[in-house]
Structure 1
């Protein structure tokens, strides 16, 4: 019996050793045989590094429309898109402008004839291709110069007035981008500018003794242009007041002729250098004040000054220009000086 007990005990110990060894072996084999955990996939970089979309409502107090004496108030509804991608930027601005009755819609040729205020659409597109990004270099960054870019763009415009404008313009050239303090920028772009348009007042019924343009469609000479824009947050203010920023833009467009061959319309229609600008805009970041830095520039309230000399190239200093002068007296419709205020919402 004793030998049987020893045999049983020995057998039990042997079984325990086997079980332990088997367990270790199984555990080791299981760990080794499990597939290795795959590394987390690397997320693709977004196509747009910045994608900013805004809706704006603004009010211009003393806008003008050439040919209609004095000023007109305008309500402006706008959609603005700006993006940055791997090789450059894109900017789109679409505006719907509604005038007061002092700027009458078609068929009225003058004010106070019972027509509603005119409705205008203006669209602008600008796209840049940065040389640093395209050529994978930093050669175009030096001092305050941030980048040099190739720029292209287009403008379209129409309005339901008797003039019936139908502007189509293209631009191409270079943009030089400079850094300003507080992550600001200053861009200047020398460009080539080409415009096509329509003017009902250049048709034969209005141009005697000149023959006029039968369909009113104009093709202007190519000319030079310089477009400037800037932005800078007022970061030097105390922390409790850092809700403000300054920005502005200006476009200078060279003489472009009459839009017709020599002798077809009066030389008084020769375009002069046009300055279309909003030299200063003060923006208040209302959403940052109300909801905190996470919502910076989600809701902006702003006030601006607009200055537009020789609107559409019309010579505001030539008494022979019957659009800008009435009975030899300047009717103040070809240069615009206006305060403007609005609210912009990011979405």
Structure 2
């Protein structure tokens, strides 16, 4: 075999290897339909949806409603409006609430922290009502907070009528919305998120187990909550972290407690096996500097309002590159947060994602002398560019 023939064979072999590697990287099998009414798998860091089925369908959320109840309570703690050790007097209204219970006694005083544990671990309807009354004066007033918070989070397919998830007309949410809420719970208050991983809670001489079976079956799972009513079926919002990657899985309307755990496990296994997340840039990091006409100073720093994170099928991230483009002729004044360019993520010469590049600081308008001088320079700049 001469050198020319050998070279041709080597080239063919290399081409075949590249083709096979590319094919393997892009080969992500279609996720099969789950045995549930709706479901979603979300990358927690980026909020990107990896796979879903009817995830925006409005359905009764059962006790997944309590995720919103608990989230608002933890935000009130962070804001200093209530304290974890505050004593809450249990009303007759809370004590009489039907369904799953923490078994708090009428007229007794229970700390906010204990009520949170009763809501999250024991799914106590009585605890949900008691805590809502403590925060807002009444459950109805608290429900207004729930719907306002849902709007702020972008939960566009949710409407709450109560704090418990007991069946009620026009009380609904969606798998996608619950995933959005779960993401907020995880990242807005990571300290109290650890409650969701606790397997049991002992109160009033009664030990109740967390109904999230995955906490026993998968060490990567560390939350969140289950729900069930005859109307809703078996529901679950769960999260797991593996090799630094966190996923959120939500399932609505499974047929049994076992089924919701099995179907959720399918989602998490699929996500960790076939996808990976990559952070390209962190928010507020200086990515570029640009000249500002008439500015004092005459340069502006540019970066991103949020982390630039993409979740892609494994093996495809190496094919991605980023490109930063600044707007031409930036003229003062410029406010902090003004859009002054673009950051694009490119794969095979195709833009797959684009985000705004913003000013990280404000640039005031300079002196009259500077403005006149820059106007002359700008005239020549336009003439020759």
TM-score bracket relative to the smaller structure: under 0.3
TM-score normalised over the length of structure 1: 0.26
Between structures 1 and 2, the one with greater strand share: 1
TM-score normalised over the length of structure 2: 0.24
Between structures 1 and 2, the one with greater helix share: 2
Q: Max radius of gyration: which structure?
A: 1
